[in-house]
Amino acid sequence: MPLPLLVFRGVRAIDPARSLDAVVDVVVEQGRITRLGPNAAAELVSSEKARVIEGRGRWLVPAFVDLHAHLREPGHEYKEDIESGLAAAAAGGFAHVCVMANTNPVNDTRAITEMMVARARSIGGPSLHPIAAITKGQKGEQLTEMKDLRDAGAVGVSDDGRCVTSSAVMRRALEYASNFDIPVIQHAEDHALTEGAQMHEGAVSTRLGLRGWPRVAEDVIVARDVLLAEAARARYHVAHLSTMGAARILREAKSRGIRVTAEVTPHHLLLTDEAVLGYDTACKVNPPLREPEDVAAVRAALADGTIDAIATDHAPHSPLEKDCEFAEASPGLIGLETCFPLLLGLVRSGDLPLARLIDALTAAPARIVGLPSPTLKEEAVAELVLVDPEKTWTVTPERIRSKSKNTPFLGKEVRGSVDLTMARGEIVFEAGEGV
Ligand code: DOR
CA 97 to chain centre: 7
Angle value at C-alpha 278, between 277 and 280, nearest 5 degrees: 110
Reading the chain (435 residues) residue by residue, the pLDDT tens digits are 555 899 999 999 999 999 999 999 999 999 999 999 999 999 998 888 999 999 999 999 999 999 999 999 999 999 999 999 999 999 999 999 999 999 999 999 999 999 999 999 999 999 999 999 999 999 999 999 999 999 999 999 999 999 999 999 999 999 999 999 999 999 999 999 999 999 999 999 999 999 999 999 999 999 999 999 999 999 999 999 999 999 999 999 999 999 999 999 999 999 999 999 999 999 999 999 999 999 999 999 999 999 999 999 999 999 999 999 999 999 999 999 999 999 999 999 999 999 999 999 999 999 999 999 999 999 999 999 999 999 999 999 999 999 999 999 999 999 999 999 999 999 999 997 555
CB of 287 sitting under 6 A from ligand 1: no
**SS3 of the chain: helix, strand, coil, percent, to 5:** 35, 25, 45
* 161/286 Cα distance (integer angstroms): 8
Q: What are phi and psi of 346, to 5 degrees?
A: -70, -30
Listed residue (35, 56, 20) closest to 435, CA to CA: 56
Q: How far apart are CA 122 and CA 326, in angstroms?
A: 39
Distance of alpha carbon 354 from alpha carbon 12, whole angstroms: 13
Give catalytic residues, as residue numbers. 313
Ligand 1 centroid, distance to 313 Cα (angstroms) = 7
Task: Tell me the C-alpha distance between 267 and 329, whole Å.
Answer: 18
Q: Which of 286, 289, 318 to mutate to test the pocket of ligand 1 (most atoms within 8 A of CB)?
A: 286
**Ligand 1 geometric centre to CA of 9 (Å):** 41
Distance 431 CA to ligand 1 centre (A): 29
Nearest ligand 1 atom to the CA of 317 is 11
Burial of residue 278, with CB atoms counted within 10 A of its CB: 0-12 exposed, 13-18 middle, 19 or more buried: exposed
CA nearest neighbour of 329 among 374, 276, 377: 276
Selection from 185, 165, 396, 191 nearest residue 286 by Cα: 191
Question: For residue 108, with 0-12 CB atoms within 10 Å meaning exposed, 13-18 middle and 19 or more buried, which class applies?
Answer: buried
Sheet containing 184-186: order of strands:
64-69, 94-99, 127-132, 156-158, 184-186, 236-238, 260-264, 309-310
Alpha carbon of 331 to ligand 1 centroid (Å): 6
What string of H, E and C letters represents the secondary structure of 256-303? CCCCEEEEECHHHHHCCHHHHHHCCHHHCCCCCCCCHHHHHHHHHHHH
Cβ of residue 161 lying under 6 Å from some atom of ligand 1: yes
Alpha carbons 34 and 30: distance in angstroms, whole number: 9
Atom of ligand 1 nearest to the CA of 333: 1
Q: For residues 247 and 261, what is the distance between their CA atoms, to the nearest angstrom?
A: 11
pLDDT the model gives residue 214? 98
- What b-and-e string marks burial along 214-232, b requiring 16 or more CB atoms within 10 Å of the CB? bbebbbbbbbbbbebbbeb
Q: What is the dihedral of CA 55, 59, 60, 62, to 10 degrees?
A: -170
Q: Euclidean distance between the first and final Cα of the chain, in Å?
A: 20
Whether 92 is in the pocket of ligand 1, judged by its Cβ within 6 Å, is no
Phi–psi pair at 28, nearest 5 degrees: -115, 120
Output the residue whose Cα is nearest ligand 1's atom 3: 332
Kind and range of the H or E element at 347? Answer: helix 339-348
Give the position, in ligand 1's atom list, of the atom nearest the Cα of 102: 10
Whether omega before 74 lies within 30 degrees of 0, making that bond cis, reads yes
- Which run of H or E residues covers position 132? strand 127-132
pLDDT score at 335? 98
Taking the CA of residue 315 as reference, the ligand 1 atom at the shortest distance is 11
CA of 377 from ligand 1 middle (Å) equals: 36
Question: DSSP code of 315?
Answer: -
CA–CA gap between residue 289 and residue 414 (Å, rounded): 20
Residues 6+ apart with CB under 8 A from 328: none
State if residue 69 touches ligand 1 by the CB under 6 angstroms criterion.
no
Whole-model pTM?
Answer: 0.98
In contact, 96 and 384? CB cutoff 8 Å: no
